[in-house]
Structures are given as C-alpha cells and as structure tokens.
Structure 1
Amino acid sequence: MKSLFENWKPRASQIGHLMTGLPEKFTKEDETKLAELLEEKQTGKNANGRATKWTDTKQSSVDELNRKKKGIDELPTGAITKLEEIFNHVFWGRRKLIFNKYLEKGNINEEDSLDLYSKVDGTSYWKNDEYFDNGFVHGTPDNITDELLRDIKSNFEYDTFKKAELTSLYSWQIKAYLWLTGKTNGELCYALVNSPAHRIDAEKKSLWYSVGMPDETEDRWIEAASQLERNHIFDMAKFKQDAPGYDLVTPIWSFDIPSHMRAKRFPVTLEDSDIEHMKRRSIMAKEWLLKREQEELNLINKK
C-alpha cells in the first residue's frame, strides 16, 4: 500500500513550525561547563572544591551539553504538535476549520497591499502566481522582482500594524521562498490598507449588539461607530472608489494616514546554513509522519 506521505513536504508557510530548537554550536564555554559537571559528578565536589549533591537537573544539563557537542538534532515538541495536526488532516481528513476576519482581510486585500507598496516605491508590483517545489519545501511567494522577493501581510487594523514584527515563523517562510526561487534577499512587508466595506458592516453589527442595540441617532452610537470606521479606513479616496455610496457614520473625515506610514518592512536573508537546516528538518518531519502512519495502521489492523 502506497503511503499517503510518500511525497509529502512542508509548505513554506509551515516550515517555521519545524525550525524551532535547532542545534547550537558547541562553544568553549560549553566545553568548560561540561568538564566541570562531569568532574563534580565523579568527585562529589564542585569547581570551588565544596561537597555537592548530584541532582536530576545537573544530569539534564550534562545530557543537553552532550547532545549539543554531538550535534544531535531532534524535533521539538512544538514541531511534533504541528505534525500531528498535519497527520490528522492527511490521514483522517480531520482538521480545525480556521475562518476568521483576520485571515479574510489578509486574503481579500493582497492586491491592495501590493498597490500600496507600488505607490510608496514608485513602481508596479504584481502578484506572483508561479508555484515552486524543490522536493523539500513548496509554495507560492507573493511577489518576486529582480532585486527582492516579498511576502505581504495585510494587518487587520492600526493597532496590529504598529505592533507587527518579524516573527520566526514569517522569517523561515521567506527563507523557504528564497530557497525555492534561488534568491538570497527578501522582505517581510506589513501593509495597513482599508478593510472592505462588508467587513466594516460586520464589525458595526457586532459593535451595535455589544453596546446594547442603541438607536442609531444616539450620540454614543455615532461616537462608537465613527471610531470603528477610523480604525478600518486609512485612505478615504480609495475607500470611496472601492465602495461608492457607502453610508459613513463619521460626520467629518480628516483621518487619512500617509501611504509611506502604512508600509513596514523587515529584511530577510538566506544563508547556506539555513538551507541545510530546512533540508534536515523537512526530512525529519517526513520520517516522523511515515512512522506515525505505520503506528496508526497497526492500531487499525489490531485484533
């Protein structure tokens, strides 16, 4: 029987889940610490010559330093948790459905976010539709130019944009895209663009219930709904173009944010060591899934 995971490989968006807890370089400080611990274990005295008790914590430190010295790599708990989710989806067809307003805006506003960066940089960026697969990872980057590869994230509102940073998950996603495309330099690009009109309406409906279903002429409703509009509209001319005739609650609009202040970039580079780490973890993840599949088949066939 052919394995469901025979040709499996992580998507670029998944690879970051597998890249935590990578082996670290064994330093001279590590070597000294290991020697001191082993001496203490053997003699019952620490580096200062004082009698000590050997503990499980000290033994764990010795074990960890030995693993580090040998360069042993193991899938961390977080990676195994992600692989278990992948296994349940592929093998059993079961997975948690994730549909929320944050993902919805990110998907809907991809083109708007690229347009924002085009405006800021004075050029034209086009969404990439080419799919890449190198046997270890696969995916479709958002934008590729001669100079840079870009991955665009559309923030839900102003607060999330201000807090947005280069996370390890996104960094590895872009590194995977760089590997796939043969490039070495990329950018994580956060974009603060208008929410679509139907999303603003949905937020208003939720807000209306939250504040006790007031009459829409009440000052408290006008104030709350106006604040919500300001939280989701950053370029009024663009909003009116996309949603002509939309009935705004805000009486006077003077809240646009300049384009260049709605674009936030973080550079990402690809090193040879990154490729080796991704190759190794991709293989380890596939081996884990193959083993997990066999365990599940054994349980199914058990009588």
Structure 2
Amino acid sequence: MKPLLIRCSAIGKLMTEPKTKAEGPLSVGAKTHIRNLAAQEIFGVEFEVSSKEMEKGNLVEPDGIALLNRVRGLSLVKNTERKSNAWISGEADLFDAASRRGHDLKCPWSVASFPITRVDCEDKLYEWQMRGYMWLWDADEWAVNYALISTPEHLIRFEPASMHFVDHIPEHLRLTTWTVTRDPVKEAAMVEKIKAAREYYAEVLAEFTTTHPASFKRELLAA
C-alpha cells in the first residue's frame, strides 16, 4: 500500500490540537477524517461533497480570475498541475513562478458571505491549505483572494436578486485578499501530524480487516 498522502484542502483537519492528553497526538476530528479516508480506500469510492456554493464557485471561476487580474494588474492563468511530495498532495488555483507567489481564489455565494476585511478572511483550515501549496510549489507567500461575482441566475432560486447580482459594484470593492507567509516550523509540524495520521490510518485498516473476516461470511452461509 502506498503511503497516505494528505490533500492540502484537508491538512487543517489534522492540525487541530487534541483537547486532552488521552486523545493522543490527533484530535477527535482528525481521527474522524482519517477513518473517512480509510473507508474510501476500503470501498474504492471517493466521498465527494457538493453544494450550491461549490457549484457557483466552479461556474464563475474564470470570471473571478479575470477580476483578480484586472484589479491587481496580474496575468495569472488557471493551474492544472497536481503536485505531491512525500507527505501531501494538492492542485493549486494560480501560481506566479516569477514572483514565487501563489493565489487561491474563492467566490463567495452572495454579498452576505463576502468578507469585507482581512479579519473576516482569516480561517485556520484555509491557512493550512495555503501552507501546503507553499510547500509543494516552493513559494514564499500564498494569497487567499475572495472575488465577489454575480451568481448564475439558475442557482439563486428564492433569495433576493440584490444579494447576488453585483456587476454594478466597482471591481476593486469586490476583491478582498488575505496573505499567508511561509513558515518552515509549521511545515515541520505538518509532518509530525501526518506521521501520526499514517499510524492511525494503518490501525483503522487493520481493525476493519479483523472485524470483517471472510470466515464470518462463511459462518453465516452455513447457518
């Protein structure tokens, strides 16, 4: 079996600290995530999550990139390369090799969910995701860019149109950026958590094998 690689988008789930020493190096939430990964491996099914927010993000991503480029004076293009090292894997949104700076793009669902200040942007899960990208792309900084784009009409349904149609708002007011700076100490902390995650992952797979023996099926058929 290949070593478990943690996706950048999931690193933050491992980095939450346990509430008690009895939990060991991994929190309850981290262990839950690892058991989900084990289930996906056992049954060969990837647990995909979908929502109207995610659907909008996928549909308007090109418009969000265009807005980011215009407002920040950039010429970024969508990245399609997935990278991995011995510990993590990820497919970043945007990367500028010349400046060694990456960009993540997020298109909020509506005006109500658009962060208007940097404090509103800060999120531990996203921070660890960006740290993963910096590690994989050897970047110095990674910016999280929130671009407010009009929602496709067929997704809005019963919500007020004024919360979703935003083209009349000046573009520079529809982009909020939060930047994460690379930190080798935190990358080392990621390695330690992933080591613990791999140990627990192996334990879960072993327990599944023990509690679902082929002999149990034969006993049922013989009964």
The normalised TM-score by structure 2 is: 0.86
CA contact (8 A) 2:13 2:29 kept: yes
Aligned equivalent of 1:271: 183
Separation in structure 2 between the aligned mates of residue 180 and residue 75 of structure 1, nearest angstrom: 23
- Given residue 232 of structure 1, which amino acid in structure 2 is its aligned partner? H
CA-to-partner distance for each residue in 1:242-278, whole Å, 9 max, x for gaps? Answer: xxxxxxxxxxxxxx11111111111101111111011
Aligned equivalent of 1:41: none
CA contact (8 A) 1:166 1:188 kept: no
Matched residue of 2:103: which SS?
strand
Separation in structure 1 between the aligned mates of residue 53 and residue 114 of structure 2, nearest angstrom: 12
Paired residues for 1:68-147 under 5 Å = 74-93=25-44, 97-145=48-96, 146-147=98-99
Separation in structure 1 between the aligned mates of residue 79 and residue 124 of structure 2, nearest angstrom: 23
CA contact (8 A) 1:16 1:168 kept: yes
Which has the larger strand fraction?
Answer: 2
Aligned equivalent of 1:177: 133
In structure 1, stretches of 5+ residues that fail to align are: 23-59, 208-226, 236-255
CA-to-partner distance for each residue in 1:27-80, whole Å, 9 max, x for gaps? Answer: xxxxxxxxxxxxxxxxxxxxxxxxxxxxxxxxx8xxx5xx9xxxx960111101
Question: Superposition RMSD on alpha carbons, in Å?
Answer: 2.3
- TM-superposed CA distance for 1:230, in Å, is 1.8
Separation in structure 2 between the aligned mates of residue 73 and residue 277 of structure 1, nearest angstrom: 15
The normalised TM-score by structure 1 is: 0.64
Paired residues for 1:1-303 under 5 Å = 3=1, 6-21=2-17, 74-93=25-44, 97-145=48-96, 146-147=98-99, 148-162=101-115, 164-200=120-156, 203=157, 207=158, 228-235=160-167, 256-301=168-213, 303=216
Matched residue of 2:190: which SS?
helix
Separation in structure 1 between the aligned mates of residue 85 and residue 58 of structure 2, nearest angstrom: 25
- Given residue 261 of structure 1, which amino acid in structure 2 is its aligned partner? L
CA-to-partner distance for each residue in 1:122-170, whole Å, 9 max, x for gaps? Answer: 2322111121111100011111113221111110000000374221000
CA contact (8 A) 2:147 2:175 kept: yes
Number of aligned residue pairs: give it.
210
- Given residue 149 of structure 1, which amino acid in structure 2 is its aligned partner? G
Q: Using the TM superposition, name which of 97-106 and 266-275 deviates more.
A: 97-106
Matched residue of 1:298: which SS?
helix
Percent identity, aligned pairs only?
27
- TM-superposed CA distance for 1:95, in Å, is 6.5
Larger CA Rg, structure 1 vs 2: 1
- TM-superposed CA distance for 1:94, in Å, is 5.7
160 and 278 in structure 1: CA distance in 2 versus 1, 3 angstrom threshold: same
CA contact (8 A) 2:103 2:145 kept: yes
Matched residue of 2:114: which SS?
helix
Q: Which runs of 4+ in 1 moved over 4 A?
A: 93-97
Separation in structure 2 between the aligned mates of residue 92 and residue 130 of structure 1, nearest angstrom: 27
Matched residue of 1:162: which SS?
coil
189 and 288 in structure 1: CA distance in 2 versus 1, 3 angstrom threshold: same
Separation in structure 2 between the aligned mates of residue 297 and residue 267 of structure 1, nearest angstrom: 44
Aligned equivalent of 2:221: none
- Given residue 14 of structure 2, which amino acid in structure 1 is its aligned partner? L
Separation in structure 1 between the aligned mates of residue 45 and residue 72 of structure 2, nearest angstrom: 43
